Amino acid sequence: MTDKELEDFLLDLREWQTFECKRVAVQPSKLLDVVVAFANTDGGWIALGLGDPEKVKREDRLVGISENPDNVSEFLKAIDKEIDPPLAGWRTLYQDIVNIHGLKDQLLVIHVLKSDEVHSLKKGETLARRGRQNVKLTAREILRLQHEKGAVKFESELSSIRSMELLDQNLLRTYKRDTVSENQDDWQFLRDNGLATKKGEESVLSNSSVLLFGKNPSIALGRKCGIKISHYYGTKPTYTGEPNFVRRPASIEGPLLSQIEQTMTYFRNVVKEAPPKLKGASFRSSLVIPEWVFQEAVTNAVIHRNYFLQDDIQIRFFDDRVEVESPGSYPGHITVSNIRTERYARNPLIQRTLNRFQAAPNLDIGEGVDRMFQVMREKVLYDPLYFPPTIRPNSVLVTLFNLHRVEDWDTVGKYLDKHYRITNSEARRITGVKDTLRMSRLLKLWVEKGVLAKVGDSSKKGTYYTKPGQEPSPTLFSLPSENK
């Protein structure tokens, strides 16, 4: 982007859960609230030297940081000194502007990354971002956030179970055989693998042990930790009249490996029973999502969900998509933007144990999500869509589209990955589509299917489109200053 294009881009951005703008006349302590809230939630961007769009006209917002450079210096020092534990994931970027007085100036853009830890101000407050607000958390909310991030692990906590009667002995024997541990005492084996702990003269099973080997973890732990599957006719549920279920919703419980296996059996049955469509000289199932991609999505949901939350994984089949939704937001520092390249295990014991079965449901080599994208593209299907917490605040929802890509989507998708947003005219320029109405219909189709999000009113200038939940990239800005 040119400096002018970037100015327009920043002026068009609305304050939301991951973006805030402030003049530098504000007290540095107020800015620290935003930094901590961003780090504890989904990360975000703070544009300093930019007036509030709710209070100031567009042409009067480019004030610049020359208004109070001392406040800027004090604020940057306070980030290192006044946050506990210290915040490592933040960077500063400077953008050249011409301010409201016609003078050369700069905006300071602070990019705060989502953190693996829960941070507090040294004065004692712990904050999270809720929409445009920075909210102080209670002790209970802090505990939930610690579980959400994986800083406190439900899987490692002890259950109240001191007997193996509730465990599936056949499954435990299979696991011991697969790990060449058949001759080891059961309790010693579980303790050696972090699945039980010695308490006095007895051993106590950890929550992960019950989830992995319990005959029915939902009953043993007294909480929802299974999978619910709903299959609908059409593209959305019917809430009035007769429900539009293809079949009665299924509830799957039992050991985690069994849950994955039963879910895959359900998927294969849907493929067999889906109305066939003619392709070439033969009829094929109308469900074209690759089995491996669905299995990876389900396995990730089982491994990485937040078991501290009382809820089941929800899987929904529609004519044009399959949705896999797991309780709890993205763990650690994982976001929609980095999920293809970064790794973080909220439940490392569960991940390790499932992977050591000979019939492991995934390879655990850190490439699963990225390979999902590659396989869908090889089959000329749309990319999996991970919804951001701004849209689904307490869960991870991935949509697998049962739709073949429109040819022009590849060009538009790559442009958005680099430039964040696109207009009708830009889309026409890069695709070669000359007809404005045809491009409008394409953009509308992509919005309806959920692969694009529309920003602004079509009746007004300034309407553009982004990928749902996509964040601006640091490469948009002109002058990187310092990485923390």
What letter represents residue 383's amino acid?
D
Q: What is the pLDDT of residue 469?
A: 72
- The span from the CA of 421 to the CA of 385, in Å, is 17
Four-CA torsion 428, 431, 432, 437, nearest 10 degrees: -40
Letter string b/e over residues 446-464, b meaning 16 or more CB atoms within 10 A of that residue's CB:
beebbbbbeeeeeeeeeeb
Closest to 142 in 3D by CA, of 164, 172, 120, 116:
120
Write down the residue that tokens 């007294």 correspond to.
222
The answer to whether 221 touches 211, Cβ cutoff 8 Å, is yes
Q: What is the residue extent of each domain of the chain?
A: 3-137, 154-220, 223-401, 410-466
Query: Around Cβ 85, how many Cβ atoms within 10 Å?
Result: 10
pTM > 0.85: yes
Domains 3-137 and 410-466 share a fold: no
Domain 223-401 has CATH 3.30.565.60: yes
Q: Name 112's bridge partners.
A: 44, 90
What is the domain class of 3-137 according to CATH? alpha beta
pLDDT of residue 391: 83
Q: Spell out the CATH class of 410-466.
A: mainly alpha
**Beta-carbon neighbour count of residue 177 at 10 Å?**
12
Give me the tens of pLDDT residue by residue for the chain, a chain 484 residues long. Answer: 667 777 777 888 778 888 999 999 988 888 999 999 999 999 999 999 999 888 888 889 999 999 999 999 999 999 999 999 999 999 998 988 999 999 999 999 999 999 999 999 999 899 999 988 999 999 999 999 999 999 999 999 999 999 999 999 999 999 999 999 999 999 999 999 999 999 988 999 999 999 999 999 999 999 999 999 999 999 999 888 888 999 899 999 999 999 999 999 999 999 988 877 655 545 567 899 999 999 999 999 999 999 999 999 999 999 999 999 999 999 999 998 889 999 999 999 999 999 999 999 886 666 889 999 999 999 999 999 999 888 888 999 999 999 888 889 989 988 998 888 899 999 999 999 999 999 999 999 899 888 898 887 665 567 889 988 777 766 665 544 555 5
